[in-house]
Amino acid sequence: MDDVKIGSIITFGSYNWRVLNRQNDEILVITEEIIEQRSYHDAYSDITWAECGLRAYLNGEFYNRFSDADKAKIVTVLNENLDNQWFGTAGGAETQDNIFLLSLDEVCRYFGDSISKLYDRGKNQRYWFERKDENNINRLARLQGKNYCWWWWLRSPGRVGKKAVYIWGTDGTIGIQGNNILKGNVSDGKCTGGVRPALWIKLSPDN
């Protein structure tokens, strides 16, 4: 995989992954599709990424599905968990993760450059981040095994600690206010948010 470039699709483990960034011999990838639906946490309570149930699942049961050879290629990273850029909700402690969700900051950087808009809030932007952002379409993701897109979680906190930011499945808009961490978008009848794991892979693990 030494010739892998940003935007490439690679196969790793049992999934197809999109390359979002490359730093020397390490690449940041995210699943091309939403691979499953899960709650962000198993209780409706104030929570941050550091303590949430979805992080425990991704770094436990999900991580352990990879072979030993693949685990040797996965880089353990120190993730900064910023406060919500609009509401100031605490993002929590830094975390060491093998598998993680993208943050609000990262999703604005890696799906087309929308980072300046995140830190220079436009008028009438109360619940949704830049509904006319040209990069929204890049954030759409299909639910695996289905012919339609779905909404998916980010690790960043929403307006309060009982919500987490997400990507809306209709148009790829970022839901800056967040969805209910236990039941998600209750009004959609299916409730549970999509999961697109992200990780860093070392291309030459023996070096």
* pLDDT tens column, 134-146: 888 899 999 999 9
Examine the pLDDT at 123 and tell me if it is beyond 80. no
Examine the pLDDT at 62 and tell me if it is beyond 90. yes
> Rounded mean pLDDT of 149-164?
95
Query: pTM here?
Result: 0.90
Examine the pLDDT at 17 and tell me if it is beyond 90. yes
| pLDDT of res. 158 | 93
| pLDDT of res. 205 | 58
Q: What percent of the chain has pLDDT over 70?
A: 86
| pLDDT of res. 192 | 83
CA distance 66 to 14: 8
| pLDDT of res. 207 | 45
Examine the pLDDT at 119 and tell me if it is beyond 70. no
| pLDDT of res. 152 | 96
Examine the pLDDT at 74 and tell me if it is beyond 90. yes
Closest C-alpha among 177, 139, 142, 174 to residue 161: 177
> Rounded mean pLDDT of 8-19?
96
> Rounded mean pLDDT of 28-37?
97
CA dihedral 15, 6, 102, 127 (to 10 degrees): -120
Task: Name the pLDDT band for 206 (thresholds 50, 70, 90).
Answer: low
Closest C-alpha among 49, 184, 188 to residue 105: 49
Q: How many CB atoms lie within 10 A of CB 172?
A: 19
> Rounded mean pLDDT of 2-12?
89
Average pLDDT, the chain: 89
Examine the pLDDT at 127 and tell me if it is beyond 90. no
Paired with 166 in beta bridges are 153, 175
